[in-house]
Amino acid sequence: TLSNPLDHSSNLRVGSNAAGDAVAVWRADRSSAPLEDYIVVSRYVPATKTWHLAREIPANGHGAQAVIDRQGNITVVWVELIRAGTGGWYYYYNGGEPDVYAILSVRYEAATSSWSSPVNLSGEGGIQSEVGVDGTGNVTVLWRRNGVIESVRWSNGLSAVTRISSGPAVASRVLWYGRPWA
């Protein structure tokens, strides 16, 4: 069992690399004390045939995804509620403000066995994230913000945010065919 039986776990996603390493990420809604929501990450190592590195990231997020490169570095990305609106579901009709989301990410560096702090990649308004990794370990994250597709890339450090589309876009999806994103 990977998840805490007392948590309500959902939104499971799995990623793997050519070496047989795998990473699982899910949302845990803790109904026991302390009452908090988490993004949980666990790594499977085929040499030891065990799951470990369970990491709880306090987050009011959803849609978590994770990728693992051939060196064992892990990138986790999710959509985080950063500011609750004043009108809730009916804000259009009641004159309130909508909820505000952002794309957040953490990285695990296998060489140092360390996790980064969460980083806000998109600023306010990021939704619908996707993440992919190529054969050389370059990680690309895409999301939609204000109807435009934007991205960042890790290749020996985090790149600046780049606009992918010049006009309104509805969704983002990254497809990988064994070659770097261009």
pLDDT by residue, tens only, the chain of 182 residues: 777 766 778 888 999 998 899 999 998 887 665 557 889 999 998 999 999 878 888 888 889 999 999 889 999 999 998 887 776 555 555 666 778 899 999 999 889 989 989 989 998 989 889 999 988 888 999 999 888 888 888 876 666 666 665 555 444 444 333 333 33
Q: From CA 104, how far away is CA 95, in angstroms rounded? A: 28
Q: From CA 64, how far away is CA 32, in angstroms rounded? A: 22
Tell me the two tokens of residue 93: 């009709």
Check residue 167 and give its pLDDT: 52
Check residue 179 and give its pLDDT: 36
Specify the DSSP element, H or E, that contains 92.
Answer: helix 91-94
